[in-house]
Structure 1
Amino acid sequence: MIRTVVLDIGETLTRDDRYWAAWADWLDVPRHTLSALVGAVVVDGRDNADALRLVRPGIDVPAEYAAREAAGRGERLDETDLYEDVRPALAAVRAAGARVVIAGNQSPKAGAMLRALDLPADVVAVSGDWGVSKPQPAFFTRVSEAAGAAPKETLYVGDHPANDVFPARAAGLRTAHLRRGPWGYWWADDPAVRAAADYSIDSLHDLVSIVTA
């Protein structure tokens, strides 16, 4: 029985379109160019920040992030960044009696903006607040604490195999791989991902049948 559903953020709840477009504009490259490079590092199994390093070798990503913020061109997140199924699916999961936790690799600012959206969730937490990020085991220790349920009664949902499915499974959590975003689509039918995921889903609406099973 699933008592708590924990969801990743980027490309699970929110589209990354604005995120990458803002970086492309800041680095003065066409948006399509950076988007294609993101795809390339996905296929290669590399960290997504490597796309920025391909555009500007040696880039100090945290320093550039700070520079963007100082210039008034930092992170933005609002209702238009959410996938359409987020609000109704999360509300349905809670109505079915499960606790909903949102936990992903985001900055404190992104966490504050996400909490301001007042999503149907019991907890919204980000790595920037916790001081530890995926795929580190300590992140999933924090997830288990926030879940308030046994690992086998906790389902972690995400699109990224290396950051979501594999480490969550290693932590003893149940896992659902979401076919969404570049990582979700590219790795959806990979045998190792299929073997590690308890569920493979195409929409957050699929979670309702899982928690009510």
Structure 2
Amino acid sequence: MIETIVFDVGETITRDDRYWASWADWLDVPRHTMSALVGAVVAQGQDNAEALRLARPGIDIAAEYRAREAAGRGEDLEESDLYSDARPALAALQNLGVRVIVAGNQTPRAADLLRGLALPADLVATSGEWGVAKPEPGFFHRLLEVAQAAPEETLYVGDHPANDVFPAKAAGLWAAHIRRGPWGHLWAGSHEVVAAADWQVNSLTELPGIVRS
């Protein structure tokens, strides 16, 4: 029985459109170029951050984050960045008595911004707060610890096979792969993903039905 559902953030409950557009503007490269670079690294199975290194070789990403904050052009998150199914799906799950958690590979600042949206969630946390990121096993150990949840009663939902589906399964959780964003669409038909994911969904609104069944 699923008692806890954990949601990845980027391209699961939030759109990354403005995130990448802001980096393109900061690095002074055309937005379509940045978008293409993100697509290229996704196709090669690399981390999204590699797109920034392609746009500016030798970039110190942590230093650039600090510079953006100092310039008043740091991370931002608004209601319009949420996918339209995110808030209704989270609320429906809570109404079913499911513990809802949002936890992904984001900064402490992103955690504050997410909490500011007052999502229907019992807990919001990020890798930046925990000091350990997916796909490291420690991320999922920490997740289960703070959620006070048993792995066999916990479902992790995300778009990224290597960061979400595979390590969640390795940690003993259920896993749902959402066909959303570059990773979600590109790898949806992969034999490895199909075999590993317990469910593949096109919308978060499918999750209450999974819980009921």
Query: Shorter-chain TM-score: what band?
Result: over 0.9
Give the alignment's Cα RMSD to 1 decimal. 0.7
Report if aligned partners of 1:4, 1:148 keep a CA contact under 8 Å in 2.
no
TM-score (norm 1): 0.99
Aligned pairs for 1:25-174 (under 5 A) are 25-174=25-174
SS at 1:169 equivalent: helix
**Partner amino acid for 1:136?**
E
State how far apart, in whole Å, the 2-side matches of 1:61 and 1:206 are: 36
State how far apart, in whole Å, the 2-side matches of 1:203 and 1:146 are: 27
Question: Aligned residue for 2:5?
Answer: 5
How many Å apart are 1:131 and its aligned residue?
0.8
Question: Aligned residue for 1:176?
Answer: 176
How many Å apart are 1:147 and its aligned residue?
2.9
**Partner amino acid for 1:62?**
A
State how far apart, in whole Å, the 1-side matches of 2:147 and 2:184 are: 24
**Partner amino acid for 2:12?**
T
Report if aligned partners of 1:101, 1:146 keep a CA contact under 8 Å in 2.
no
Report if aligned partners of 1:135, 1:162 keep a CA contact under 8 Å in 2.
yes
C-alpha offsets along residues 68-118 of structure 1, whole Å, 9 cap, x if unaligned? 111111110010100000111100011111110110011111100100111
How many Å apart are 1:149 and its aligned residue?
2.3
C-alpha offsets along residues 3-32 of structure 1, whole Å, 9 cap, x if unaligned? 000000000010001110000000100000
State how far apart, in whole Å, the 2-side matches of 1:145 and 1:185 are: 31
State how far apart, in whole Å, the 1-side matches of 2:146 and 2:193 are: 25
State how far apart, in whole Å, the 1-side matches of 2:147 and 2:194 are: 24
State the aligned residue count: 213
C-alpha offsets along residues 18-72 of structure 1, whole Å, 9 cap, x if unaligned? 1100000001000000000100000000011111111111111111111111111
SS at 1:124 equivalent: strand
C-alpha offsets along residues 103-155 of structure 1, whole Å, 9 cap, x if unaligned? 00111111001001111000001011111111111000011123322111100
SS at 2:156 equivalent: strand
Question: Aligned residue for 1:199?
Answer: 199
**Partner amino acid for 1:127?**
S
State how far apart, in whole Å, the 2-side matches of 1:71 and 1:147 are: 36
State how far apart, in whole Å, the 1-side matches of 2:136 and 2:68 are: 27
SS at 1:155 equivalent: strand
**Partner amino acid for 1:101?**
I
Report if aligned partners of 1:6, 1:147 keep a CA contact under 8 Å in 2.
no
**What percentage of residue pairs aligned between the two structures are identical?**
69
State how far apart, in whole Å, the 1-side matches of 2:150 and 2:113 are: 29
State how far apart, in whole Å, the 1-side matches of 2:5 and 2:118 are: 17
**Partner amino acid for 1:183?**
W
